[in-house]
Copies of this chain bind each other. A is one copy, B any other.
Amino acid sequence: MPTPLTDPSLIARFAAITGAQNALTAASDIAPHLVELRGRFRGESPLVLRPADTEEVSAILRLAHETGTAIVPQGGNTGLVGAQTPSPGKGEVVLSLSRLNRIRSLDPVGQTMVAEAGVVLKQAQEAASEKGLLFPLSLGSEGSCQIGGNLSSNAGGTAVLAYGNMRQLCLGIEAVLPDGEIWHGLRALKKDNTGYDLRDLFIGAEGTLGVITAAVLKLFPEPAGHETIYAGVDSPEVALKLFRLAQDFCGPSLTGFELMPRIGIEFTTRHIEGVRDPLDAPHPWYVLIDISSGQSQEAARTMLEGLFVAADENGLIRDAAAAETGAQRQAFWTLRESMSWAQKPEGGSIKHDVSVPVAKVPEFLARADKAVLGAIPGARIVAFGHLGDGNIHYNISQPAGADTESFLARWEEMNALVHAIVLELNGSISAEHGIGQLKRDELAAIRSPVEMALMHRIKQAFDPRGIMNPDKVIASR
């Protein structure tokens, strides 16, 4: 068990590592690091450290290990499960990686980039783009989330279908272990079968096994042609058929396939400035399809047209609009990416980030809707997401005019309802957001003792003193 940090002389020793100006102790300086985006978790901490480089991270962890001080790594603080929030009353140090924000190198021939943990995702995307390359990870929070957090949460986003999640987008990492040792694993190799997969253990571990300080990221050729289509469809079943058709037709050129419900379009057009529905009439469901071609704009257009003809022959599309300009394309995606935030003005929203086998998405939606509406008549279900990955953000907005607090009081009850269906369909209760604090106990409840024991053994092997982000992912023992 870690020792709560209260001793001023120990605080001073930590502060000496980063220098006083990067050791925040004033409550007002610390405050922004204690609350996460949705305000579900409120933490406490006596000290926020902002190291400049890997060596300072190493020195901090060495001291933490020696003194049994708990460390909570934090990136852009955009995580949705409370993994980056220090637990109240535990005297945990927040380790902000924001100053490790250099792109150490970019190899246009090898198509790789070495980025430090604190590099903001958008900055990484832009650095690639300047060389005519693509770093495909794309998230709603890309303007503030950081590469270290993306790695620690194995971030997904809208381009997973074609490019994979963060685990697939990373070739090697540099990490500081809980005892301060540095693991130099910055390999830029596409193939390397030399022992256990340490990289993928640190990725997705949410800072509980050590601190990722830098990574080799995979880059891709910027597509020469792009088409984005926004289409109205009858139902999730039809959307799934259209997905299969698009997958058969475009193969790996299918770079996005998102599902959205009518109510999501209504919320978004109502609350997000500048957003409008590209189609005149309303439709029950919508899909957003992204096609990329390495060859040319014409090739992408040809693919799009072929897909349209085939979809039409099969009666799959009610109406559709293709983006004619880059700005229009951006507008279509803004519609999709603001869907989560557009729920806020509608009152309380109970969130789920689940996945099921792709073919089971329609069944999941039908069963979950029935269960939720049975429990809360009038609940407004905004279920949207990455159909091509089987990943649905199954969000429930309160009935119009209902009391927000009493609605939100039913969060766990709704989670239990929805997750039970997910588990019956062999799905996941956290497709891309991770476990953090939010789902820790639920994970322990649904996973087999064998699997939980393995996770505890790994935690113990890497972090025997239990100082790394305690009580996140798995409970301290």
Contacts and interface: CB of A to CB of B under 8 A. Distances in A.
Nearest to A197: B200
Given A195-B473, A450-B181, A454-B183, A390 B355 contact: no
Interface stretch (A15-23, A42-50, A160-168, A373-381): A160-168
B189 A455 contact: no
A221 interface: yes
B110 A359 contact: yes
A191 B431 contact: yes
Contact of A189 (B198, B357, B462): B357
Contact of A200 (B153, B200, B426): B200
A224 B447 CA distance: 41
Interface in A184-239: 184-185, 187-198, 200-201, 203-205, 209, 220-221, 223-224
A244 interface: yes
A177 B450 contact: yes
A233 B193 CA distance: 30
Interface string A294-309: 1100010011001000
A91 interface: no
B191 A450 contact: no
B450 A358 contact: no
Number of copies: 2
A274 B359 CA distance: 45
Given A295-B250, A295-B303, A191 B458 contact: no
A426 B187 contact: yes
A191 B389 CA distance: 7
A124 to B, nearest CB: 19
Contacts of A156: 191, 193
Interface in A395-423: none
A255 to B, nearest CB: 9
A429 interface: yes
Nearest to A434: B193
A363 B11 CA distance: 51
9 contacts: A110-B358, A153-B193, A167-B197, A184-B448, A191-B390, A193-B432, A194-B434, A251-B293, A461-B461
Given A162-B252, A196-B201, A249-B294, 18 more contacts: A109-B359, A156-B193, A160-B191, A183-B454, A188-B357, A191-B389, A193-B432, A194-B443, A195-B447, A195-B455, A197-B201, A197-B203, A221-B251, A247-B294, A253-B294, A254-B294, A295-B303, A460-B461
